[in-house]
Amino acid sequence: MISNNKEKIYKILDQAYAFRTRDISNSIALTQKALDLSEALNDKALIGKSLNQLGLFYMIITEFEKSKELSKQAISIFKSIDVEVGIADARYNIGSVFYKTNDFYSGLVQLLEALKIYRTAGDLHGIAKTEKAVGTIYEYIGDNDNAHKTYVSAIKIAVKLSDKNLEANILNNLSGLYLKKNKINLAKEKISRSIDLKKQTNDVRGLGFAIYGRGKIHLKIGLYEEAKRDFFEALDIHMELNEQFGSAMCLSKLGKMYNMLQDFEKAEYVLKASVEIAESINSTMVKIKGYNLLSMMYKGNRNHVDALKYLELYVFEKDKITNTQTVKVIEHYDLINQMNNLENEARINKEKQKAIEIINKEEKEAVRLRQEFLSIMSHEIRTPLNAITTIISILKDNIINADKELFNSLQFASKNLINTVNDTLDFTKLDSNKSVLEVRNANLKELCSNIISLHNNNAKLKDLDLVLKSDIPSDRYYSLDQAKIGQILGNLISNAIKFTQRGDIVLETALINEDKVYDTIRFSVKDSGEGISKENLQVIFDSFSQIKPVITRDQGGTGLGLAIVKKLVELHQGEILVNSVLNEGSEFYFTLQLKRVDNVIEAEEIDYSKLKGKLALIADDTLINALLMKKVLKKWDVNSVIVKDGKEALEASTIKKYDFILMDIHMPIMNGVEATKKIKATKNKNSDTPIFAVTADVQTNEHEENRKLFDAILWKPLEIEKLYKALSHKIEL
Q: Specify the pLDDT at position 169.
A: 92
Give the residue-averaged pLDDT of 9-18.
Answer: 88
548: CB partners within 8 A, 6+ apart: 536
Confidence of residue 153 (pLDDT cuts 50, 70, 90): very high
Quick: pLDDT tens for 283-318.
Answer: 777 888 888 888 888 887 778 788 778 877 877 776
Mean pLDDT of 702-723: 79
Report the interhelical angle of 304-321 vs 284-300 (nearest 10°). Answer: 150
How many of the other CB atoms lie within 10 Å of CB of 578? 17
| 370 band by pLDDT with thresholds 50, 70 and 90 | low
Q: Is the pLDDT of residue 508 over 90?
A: yes
pLDDT at 732: 59
The pLDDT of residue 233: 94
389 pLDDT higher than 70: no
**What average pLDDT does the segment 265-277 reach?**
90
Segment 69-121, tens digit of pLDDT: 999 999 999 999 999 999 999 999 999 888 887 777 788 888 888 998 999 99
Q: What pLDDT was estimated at residue 308?
A: 79
In degrees and rounded to multiples of 5, residue 131 shows phi and psi of -60, -40
Most confident by average pLDDT, 296-310, 344-358, 368-382: 296-310
Higher-scoring residue by pLDDT: 344, 695? 695
Task: Taking residues 360-370, report their average pLDDT.
Answer: 53
Report the alpha-carbon distance of residue 486 to residue 352 in Å, rounded.
Answer: 32
Task: Tell me how long the chain is.
Answer: 733
pLDDT of amino acid 351: 53
pLDDT of residue 532: 86
Least trusted range by pLDDT, from 311-315, 528-532, 707-711: 311-315
Cis before residue 717, ω within 30 degrees of 0?
Answer: yes
Residue-level pLDDT at 372: 54
Residue 373's pLDDT band, with cuts at 50, 70 and 90, is low
Residue 559: pLDDT band (50, 70, 90) is very low
Confidence of residue 429 (pLDDT cuts 50, 70, 90): low
Mean pLDDT of 714-732: 76
- What mean pLDDT value characterizes the chain? 81
Give me the mean pLDDT over the 226-234 stretch. 93
| Residues paired with residue 587 on neighbouring β-strands, in sequence order | 526, 579
pLDDT: which is higher, 629 or 229: 229
Mean pLDDT of 398-414: 62
Packing angle, helices 363-395 and 403-425, rounded to 10? 160
E strand or H helix that includes residue 523 = strand 518-527
pLDDT in tens, 122-134: 999 999 999 999 8
Kindly report which listed range (472-476, 524-528, 543-547) carries the lowest average pLDDT score: 543-547
The answer to whether the CB of 477 falls within 8 A of the CB of 600 is yes
Q: Contact at 8 Å (CB) between 206 and 222?
A: no
Burial class of residue 683 (count of CB atoms within 10 Å of its CB; 0-12, 13-18, 19+): exposed
Nearest in space to 589 (alpha carbons), one of 488, 518, 449: 488
Kindly report, residue by residue over 200-212, the tens digit of the pLDDT.
Answer: 998 888 899 999 9
Res 154: pLDDT: 92
Sheet (strand 712-715) strand order: 639-643, 615-619, 660-663, 691-695, 712-715
Domains of the chain, each with CATH number or no CATH: 243-330 (1.25.40.10), 350-398+606-733 (3.40.50.2300), 422-597 (3.30.565.10)
**For residues 647-655, average pLDDT:** 92
Distance CA 580, CA 548 (A): 14
